[in-house]
Each structure stands twice: as C-alpha cells, then as structure tokens.
Amino acid sequence: MNPTQLVQLAFGSEYWTVVLTFAGLGGLLAGFIYEGILREKNDDRAGLRDVLLRGGDLRELYVRTLTYLLNRLDRFLGDTGRPPAPLPLSFLNRQPAHCWTTRSFDTCALLATIYPLAGVLAVWIGAGDAGPVGEALQLHATDDWKPRAAVAVLLPVVIACFYRGARASGWRSLAWYAVAGAGAGAVAVAGAVAVAGAGAGAGAGAFAVAVAVIIAVSIVFDKANNSNRLGIFWLCFWPVALAATCLGLFASAAAGTRPQLLTFQAMWPLVALVNLPFDWASLGLTRALLRRGCEPDAPAFSPLWLGLLDFALGLVVLALLAFALVAALLFADALTSWGGKVVAVDVFAVLARIRDTPGDPANWWVYLTLFSTLLPSVVNMVVGSVSVTTFLLPSVRDWMVRKIDLLDTGNVGEGTRRKLVVVFFLQVVVGVLATGLVLRLLWGLLWTLAPGLLTGFQDALYWWAVTLGRPLGVVQ
C-alpha cells in the first residue's frame, strides 16, 4: 500500500460519502430520541434543559452531556437500578459504575447482529458497491443513484414507522406497524425470491429449522432473563451458536449452496458472533473511562485525556479483532472447501485486495466490521463535537432553553417541538461531520509519524493467515 493509495482511502470521496451517510442516519436516530424526550414533561426533558442552561462552561457542558447520556445508556441497557459489579480493571474510579455487565453483552449481541447489515447497506447507498457481501444481499454494484436514493429515503421511513408503532397504542400502533411491515416485507419478499434460485426445497427446510431454533432460543432466553441468569445463558449460548454456525457452513457447502449465499452465511452470523465479545469489551472500557472523567474529583482535563486513552485502547481491541476475524474466516473457508470444494470468503484474496486497492468500495465492509470496536469511542467524540457546537452558539442554546420552557407550559403546538428536534438533528449531523474530519486528521498524523505501521500490520495479518491456513489446507 503506497502513500497515494493511503491518501485515496483516507481522503477520497468514498470516505466522505460514507461519513455523510452515517451523519444522516445518526441525525435521524437522534431526532427520534429527542422527539421522545421532548414529547412529555418528565425528568429526561428537565435534565436536557439543565444541560443546555449550564452550557456556558465547555468542560461542564461536556461532562453534564456525557453524564446524561451515560445514564440514558444504563437505562437502555437495562442496568439502571441494578447494583454495579466491581470493576475487573482499575481506572481509579471513585464511584461504582456499570461497565462490563450481562445486560450490555445482551444488547451488544443485538447490535452485532444489526450492525454488519446496516454497514453494508450504508456503503451500498453511499458508494454504490458493497462487495461480495452486498452481492449476496442482492445489492448489486451500480452507478445509478436513483435506486440507492430510494432505499435511503425508504429505510428511515420504515424505522420511523416502527418507532411510532412502539410508542403508540391501540389501532394507531397496529396501523404504524402495518406500514412498517409493508416496507420491510417488500425487502423480505425480494430476499426470498433471490434465495429460491438455490433450491426451494432446501431453502424451505432451512427456514423451518431456523424458525424452530429461534423459538426455542427465545423461550430459554426469556426464562434466563426472568431469573436474572443472562450471564449463564450467554456463557452457554455463545459457543453453541458459534459451533452451530460452523456446522451450518459445512452442511450448506455440502448441499451445493451458491457461493454468494455461503459468503453471506460466513459474513453475517459468524462475523457477528466473533465481533460480540470484542464489542462488549470496547463498550465496557468506554463506560469505565468516561465515568471516571465525569466524577467530581476528576482532574480538569481528564475527559480529554481519558477520551484519548479510550480511543487508543479501542485501537488495540480493533487489532485483536482483526486477528480473530482472519482466524474465523479462514476456518469458514476450510469448512466450505471440505464440504463443497469452494471457499466462502477467500481470505487471502480479501487481504490482497485491501493491500493493492484499499479505496475499493468492496473493502468497506471489512473496515466497518473492524470499526465496530471503535464505535463507543467515536460516539464520545461526537458528543464532544456537539458540546463544542452548543458552546460556540450561545444564542441558539438560549433559544432552545426558552422553547423547552414553553413546552413545559403546555401552551405551544407540535411546531415548537419539531423545530427543537430539527436543531438537535443538525447538531448531531455537524458533530458526526466534525468527528469525520478529526479522524481524517488523525489518520494523516499516524501516517506522518509512523508510515510503516499500517504496512507492518498488514504483513502481520498475512503471516497469521498463512500460519493458520497451512494446517487447515487453505493456502493461497
């Protein structure tokens, strides 16, 4: 990988297209969240107003915003009200905090399932080519912007309808779910038609087995959740699911399944399961470090340097994940070659493509998969960017406080709340774009200070692949 290729990867139009896509999706997600917060007078809305009201000091604004979001994260993960477990690692935290919890592992499992598919879809919308995984999902490479724009518009609508259905009740909830189901059903029907070409009988049998497994797992999960034994459930279920995925790959290859579907089978369940413990570890690190930075006796610049430490540790977890993924995908190639004389992923070809053409959109699913371990750190950077934006615009901040006060009086209509949601949406979009710029600058700084670091890392991955591939019978 030469300097020109690195510049293309870090500064090329594909990078900014993906950043813009995530900025839009992140802004929409934030809009849904803030819309729910602003809808009713409650502690969440009061807390949001307090954060804005005390925004005259940048550090205080950042710490209050971060504390507010960490508390909401605890609630989202189901950790609120539960006694925090002792920290297995010491970051000099003075106060008990939820970090590596079974509830967070459970949520990471859901996100690890959704994130690879969302990442592939975002790359296809932004760049028009999502590589072999995109082809397996019928997201064919195209320069035509119209179908990509249609999906980009339809996807938030489906998400919004599901969100409205979850918040509504009675026939309104059913109506929202019906609209969302119609949009999601169109995708499901298209997927079913694509899969039918591989053999309707085998597909129907696999689908029936999958439904039975999902029902059985759901029953066991509910019992574990109700009896507060999620830790035991995941300790048993994760290795079983990993073994079942590997067995499924071998059986699918032996049954003559199309290579594209084998690629999807390797890239979605297997990659999600391998990512899960690394994402959980990264999230726990972020929660522990940021909680320490928000404590009252934390040093003045602790949020900054703890955030940088969190990012550095995230890079370490990312490197470990890269080696784990190479091992897992090599084993997947070995299983499919033993079962059907084909390879599911062709790890050596992927490594060669990344080395020779790092800016190829077909590689972006790899980058996004590895990037999942940095998501907590990047979200922290977005929070910092939003805090800086709010701090630098005191007139906008004061306007938002006044409008929230009007909401509390109950004398304003939907228009006021929607204006506030739009402002929060724009803040998050600007925060994501600013974070993208910072990451771009960090990439340039890394290349300037250690130009051989990335090349050495690629060489280490290739050596690892060769070392593992030989005994497995998978060599270039």
Nearest one of 375, 16, 347, 118 to 130, comparing CA atoms: 118
Residue 182 has a pLDDT of 67
Contact call for residues 294 and 303 (beta carbons, < 8 A) = yes
Phi-psi region of 78 (alpha: psi -120 to 50; beta: other; left: phi over 0): left
Contact call for residues 352 and 1 (beta carbons, < 8 A) = no
Q: How confident is the model at residue 193 (pLDDT cuts 50, 70, 90)?
A: very low
Q: pTM of the prediction? A: 0.75
Alpha-carbon gap, residue 49 to 107, rounded angstroms: 28
278-291 confidence digits (pLDDT tens): 999 888 888 888 88
Alpha-carbon gap, residue 34 to 418, rounded angstroms: 10
Q: How confident is the model at residue 10 (pLDDT cuts 50, 70, 90)?
A: very low
Tokens at residue 162, please? 């599901």
Q: Kindly give the residue spans of alpha helices, DSSP state H, lying in 255-360.
A: 259-265, 271-293, 302-340, 347-356
Contact call for residues 268 and 332 (beta carbons, < 8 A) = no
Residue 162 has a pLDDT of 64
Instruction: Classify 141 as helix, strand or coil.
Output: coil
Q: Which amino acid is at 454?
A: L
Which phi and psi (to 5°) does residue 89 adopt? -120, 145
381: how many CB neighbours lie within 10 A of its CB? 22
351-387 confidence digits (pLDDT tens): 888 888 877 777 877 887 888 888 888 888 888 788 7
Q: Quick one: CA torsion of 321, 324, 325, 326, rounded to 10 degrees? A: 130
Alpha-carbon gap, residue 7 to 359, rounded angstroms: 9
Q: Tokens 């959109």 map to which residue? A: 361
Q: Tokens 């004398």 map to which residue? A: 411
430: how many CB neighbours lie within 10 A of its CB? 17
Contacts of 263 (CB under 8 A, 6+ apart): 132, 133, 135, 136, 344, 345
Widest pairwise Cα distance in the chain: 73
Nearest one of 111, 87, 110, 112 to 99, comparing CA atoms: 87
Contact call for residues 464 and 327 (beta carbons, < 8 A) = yes
Contact call for residues 328 and 270 (beta carbons, < 8 A) = yes
Q: Tokens 């089978």 map to which residue? A: 265
The b/e string for 205-228 (b: 16+ C-beta within 10 A; e otherwise) is ebeeeeeeeeeeeeeeeeebeeee
Alpha-carbon gap, residue 141 to 123, rounded angstroms: 11
Q: Is the dihedral of CA 58, 60, 62, 68 positive or negative?
A: negative
Q: What is the mean pLDDT of residues 432-450?
A: 80
Residue 317 has a pLDDT of 92
Q: How confident is the model at residue 319 (pLDDT cuts 50, 70, 90)?
A: very high
Q: How confident is the model at residue 437 (pLDDT cuts 50, 70, 90)?
A: confident
| 58 vs 362: which has the higher pLDDT | 362
